[in-house]
Amino acid sequence: MTVMEHKEQYMEHLHRYMGHIESHVNKIYATIHEHDCCILSDLDQMQRLVSEAQNFAAVYYLQSHLAPYTKQYINLSLAAQYLSEKRHGALIAVERSDQLDPYIHNGTLIEADISHILLETVFYPGNPLHDGGVVIRNDTIHSAGNIFPLTDITYQHRKLGTRHRAAIGLSEKTDAMVIVVSEETGRISFALDGQLFVVRASV
């Protein structure tokens, strides 16, 4: 599937979600003044639809940013989504022009095809490699368990964990795109050019 076909499919699904949400809103408006009406069930259904639409949009947003970096953007985004739902922390650097070797340490060579199942296994709590970062090189899982450099940046209204500081730190020194999943909140973010962007707020 090409990037354009993927975008068209995304828009089709999103329009469907929006249509269902609009239908629920209209139903609530039409019955809200009835004395024996209870809208709690309708609100629950609408909340579920909105949550599904948010998750769907978040995955597409991540895939759109990954697509220029790797052909394996779908597998990477699926892994991030699964890890987010399970609240398993993750740190994945997609190497581009800049070699990452001078900035990473203590990694274990993997050299395997990218699959979301393998990435989910690497970051499963208890796996010896789950606390380190994965490096994606030439559309393969090059290594895991790497230590990335930490940023010195501090945010006044937000405390950054080690994974987020490592993601920003590596993106400050290289042109890599670094995906990070918070084990505390399930938040998916990515670091690029020393900045952190949130894809999915929480689960």
Note the pLDDT of residue 202: 60
198 backbone dihedrals φ, ψ, rounded to 5°: -90, 130
pLDDT of the residue at 124: 96
pTM over 0.95: no
- Contact in structure between 170 and 178 (CB atoms under 8 Å): yes
CB 120 within 8 A of CB 82: yes
Q: Tell me what pLDDT residue 39 has.
A: 72
pLDDT (tens digit, 0 to 9) for every residue of the chain, 203 residues total? 566 676 677 777 778 878 888 887 887 778 777 756 667 777 788 788 787 777 777 777 778 878 888 889 889 988 998 999 999 999 999 999 999 999 999 899 999 999 999 999 999 999 999 999 999 999 999 999 999 999 988 766 667 899 999 999 999 999 999 999 999 999 899 999 999 988 866 65
Q: How far apart are the first and last CA of the chain?
A: 29
81 burial class (0-12, 13-18, 19+ CB within 10 angstroms)? buried
The pLDDT score that the predictor gives to residue 100 is 97
Give the DSSP letter string of 126-173.
Answer: T-TTTTSEEEEETTEEEEEEEBPPPP---BTTB---HHHHHHHHHHHH
pLDDT of residue 125: 94
On whether the CB atoms of residues 181 and 88 are closer than 8 A, the answer is: yes
